[in-house]
Amino acid sequence: CPAERHGSRSHSEILVMGAMSLGRTVLALCALVAAGNDVLASMMGELQKNMEKDKGGMGGLLDMLGSMQEGGGKKNSGMCKGGKQPAPKMDHHDKMSANGCGPQGMQIKESFGLYKCCNGHDVCFSVCGTSHAFCEKEFSSCMKKICKKPLSGSPKECKNQANMFSQLTKALGRGFHAKSQEMSCDCLKAEDLPSRHRAYLQGFFQQYNESQASDELVDDVLARWKGREGDLYFSLVKTYGKNFVRFDDIKAEFHDDGEL
């Protein structure tokens, strides 16, 4: 049978290119493991398990690492075109999930308590209107707080692991963030943004804190967070997220609640 074509390349050629890209990523991770990092050693162990489960096609593994590589240094040009701007889909928070530290299906076990920050980092990517830089800043700040008094081990050991987590997500997380934004946001004209933000926030409060759902209170909150709506919604997820975030094989905890 003739090879399936995708533009000027066959399906088999694309698989080969994907495997080469995968190989470069794995080699980079192996180099860091060889340098003596336990976090990446754990990550590589999970990677090997996934490859054994998915012999031949590599399926979701290629997708996962492809997303990681998309973020390796590229600047996000923005998901919305033609002057439109992102606004939250009305139910986007209902689809959020968190799995502690590590990519989906590759959870990295740690004993310091950093999973609370990793949970926050997971949902931050899915909150419409956040930037990759904002999520990384919040992640680093959270881990610094945890490492002052880790659940176990020394602050130095905790900081070493936190630094590696931070380096990985800064270098490889931009693609994940961009894809999450596409799933969580609609692109609207500027004149339609205020009504969407108002409808979303009021609907959210009606569901999770009805005492805050009056027109006056909603308008006040939006006025105070104007231009930083993504930061506002992230704060709300940390406060109310236990009611709707799906926690996969990890405790349903964030490090601290959001603030309005």
| pLDDT tens string 10-29 | 333 333 333 333 433 444 44
**What band does 164 get if pLDDT is binned at 50, 70 and 90?**
very high
Tokens of 137: 């800043």
State how far Cα 152 lies from the chain centre. 26
Strand pairing of 185-188 and 85-88? Answer: antiparallel
The pLDDT tens digits of the residues spanning 77-107 come to 478 999 999 999 999 899 899 999 988 778 8
State how far Cα 141 lies from the chain centre. 16
CB atoms within 10 A of CB 12: 10
Least confident of 101-105, 135-139, 232-236: 101-105
CB atoms within 10 A of CB 6: 10
End-to-end CA, the chain = 61
Q: Residue 19: helix, strand or coil by DSSP?
A: helix
Q: Report the alpha-carbon distance of residue 229 to residue 223 in Å, rounded.
A: 10
pLDDT value of position 258:
55
Average pLDDT, the chain: 79
Q: Residue 186: helix, strand or coil by DSSP?
A: strand
With beta carbons less than 8 A apart as the criterion, state whether 203 and 210 touch. no
Residues in the chain: 260
Q: How many CA atoms does the CB half-sphere of 39 hold within 13 Å? A: 21
Q: Which residue has the tokens 């990523």?
A: 25
Task: Indicate the pTM of the whole model.
Answer: 0.73
Compute CA distances 30 → 23, 102, 205, whole Å: 10, 16, 46
